C-alpha cells in the first residue's frame, strides 16, 4: 500500500513539472488593459459595435476615453447630424421640465438650476465637423480659436428648457470649464444664441486651473449653496458636470459621444 501511494505521488510530481497548475490557468490576469477590439470583437457589424460603445460611454461604464474609435466616426457623424440626437436631447429636456414643474419654487429667488455650456446649451458640432467628429486628439489652440468666434448655435431642446425654467421662477447659473479669459466671447456667444438673463456665469479662474472638472464644478455649486441657493436641478453633457459633492437635487445627463472630460 505504501509503495502504491509513493508511485502515485511521484507521478503527480512529474505531471506538475510539465503542466501549468489549474490555479495559474484560472487566475492569470491580462498583460495589458483591454481595448475596444478586445471588449467587443465578437460584434458582427460596425454599427452593432458602435451602438454598444456609445451606450457604454453614456452610462459611464467605459471610464476615461480619449477619442472616438476609428470604426465609429461615421456612426457618430450620422448620430450627431440625425434625428436621433435631437430626439434624445428633447426627451431629456422634457423629463427635466416635468421634474421642474414638481418643484415648489418659493419665490425668494433662491431656487437655482445649473447648466453647463458646451454640448449642453451651445453646440460645438460645427467645430467637430472639421475635426474628425471626436476621432482626433483634442487640440486646445484650434478649439480656443473656435470659441473666440462666438458662433456656436444653441441646442434647441436646451434652449426651450432654459426658457421655461426661467418662466417657472428658477434662477439660472452657468458653470463652464472654459477659462476666465474667454468670458467676453462666451457671453457674446450666449447672447447670440438667445441665452439671456442668467444670474451668473462661472469660468475657471487662476485658482481653478489644473483641477479636474468634477472638483472644480463641485466647488462652484458649494459656493451657491453657501450663499443660500437651493440647487434644484443641473444639466450637463459630462458626468463631471453632475457628480462630486454639493450636487443638485436632480441631475440630467445629455448625450455626447464626441469627447470625455473627467
Helix (H, G, I), strand (E, B) or coil at 231: strand
Residue 197 lies in a domain: yes
| pLDDT score for 36 | 52
Nearest in space to 140 (alpha carbons), one of 177, 92, 188? 177
Q: Across residues 68-87, what is the average pLDDT?
A: 97
Segment holding 213, helix H or strand E: helix 213-226
Dihedral pair phi/psi, residue 172, rounded to 5°? -100, 130
Residue 260 lies in a domain: no
Q: Across residues 46-65, what is the average pLDDT?
A: 95
| pLDDT score for 6 | 42
Residue 84 lies in a domain: yes
Provide DSSP, 156-191.
HHHHHHHHHHHHHTPEEEEEEEEEGGGHHHHHHHHH
For residue 187, what are the contacts with CB-CB under 8 A and spacing of at least 6?
Answer: 201
pLDDT greater at residue 18 or residue 24: 18
**Tally of domains within the chain:** 1
- Left, alpha or beta for 79 (phi > 0: left; psi -120 to 50: alpha)? alpha
| pLDDT score for 46 | 87
Residue 259 lies in a domain: no
Tens digit of each residue's pLDDT (9 = 90 or more) over 206-220: 999 999 999 999 999
Tens digit of each residue's pLDDT (9 = 90 or more) over 158-169: 999 999 999 999
Q: Domain span at residue 37?
A: 3-253
Q: How far apart are CA 22 and CA 237, in angstroms?
A: 46
Q: Which three cell numbers stand for residue 133?
A: 467628429
Residue 261 lies in a domain: no
| pLDDT score for 35 | 52
pLDDT > 70 fraction of the chain, expressed in percent and rounded: 83
CB 234 within 8 A of CB 111: no
Q: Across residues 7-33, what is the average pLDDT?
A: 37
CATH number of the domain that residue 125 is part of: 3.40.50.1000
Residue 258 lies in a domain: no
User: b/e string for 180-196 if b means 16 or more Cβ within 10 A?
Assistant: eebeebbbebbeebebe
Query: Model's pTM, two decimal places?
Result: 0.83
Q: How far apart are CA 167 and CA 241, in angstroms?
A: 24
Tens digit of each residue's pLDDT (9 = 90 or more) over 105-151: 998 999 999 999 999 999 999 999 999 999 999 999 999 999 999 99
Amino acid at each position: 500500500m505504501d509503495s502504491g501511494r509513493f508511485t502515485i505521488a511521484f507521478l503527480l510530481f512529474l505531471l506538475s513539472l510539465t503542466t501549468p497548475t489549474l490555479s495559474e490557468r484560472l487566475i492569470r490576469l491580462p498583460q495589458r488593459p483591454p481595448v475596444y477590439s478586445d471588449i467587443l470583437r465578437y460584434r458582427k457589424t460596425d454599427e452593432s459595435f458602435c451602438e454598444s460603445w456609445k451606450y457604454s460611454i453614456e452610462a459611464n461604464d467605459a471610464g476615461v476615453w480619449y477619442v472616438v474609435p476609428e470604426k465609429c466616426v461615421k456612426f457618430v457623424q450620422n448620430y450627431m447630424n440625425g434625428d436621433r440626437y435631437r430626439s434624445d436631447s428633447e426627451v431629456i429636456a422634457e423629463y427635466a421640465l416635468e421634474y421642474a414643474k414638481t418643484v415648489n419654487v418659493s419665490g425668494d429667488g433662491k431656487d437655482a438650476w445649473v447648466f453647463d455650456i458646451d454640448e449642453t446649451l451651445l453646440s460645438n458640432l460645427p467645430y467637430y465637423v472639421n475635426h474628425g467628429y471626436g476621432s482626433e486628439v483634442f487640440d486646445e489652440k484650434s478649439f480656443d480659436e473656435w470659441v473666440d468666434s462666438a458662433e456656436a448655435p444653441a441646442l434647441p431642446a436646451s434652449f426651450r428648457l432654459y426658457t421655461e425654467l426661467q418662466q417657472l421662477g428658477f434662477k439660472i447659473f452657468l458653470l463652464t470649464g472654459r477659462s476666465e479669459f474667454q468670458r467676453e466671447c462666451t457671453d457674446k456667444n450666449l447672447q447670440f444664441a438667445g441665452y439671456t438673463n442668467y444670474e451668473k456665469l462661472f469660468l475657471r479662474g487662476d485658482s481653478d486651473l489644473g483641477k479636474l472638472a468634477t472638483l472644480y464644478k463641485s466647488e462652484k455649486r458649494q459656493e451657491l449653496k453657501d450663499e443660500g441657493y437651493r440647487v434644484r436641478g443641473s444639466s450637463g453633457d459630462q458626468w463631471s458636470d453632475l457628480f462630486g459633492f454639493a450636487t443638485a437635487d436632480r441631475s440630467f445627463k445629455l448625450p455626447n459621444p464626441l469627447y470625455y472630460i473627467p
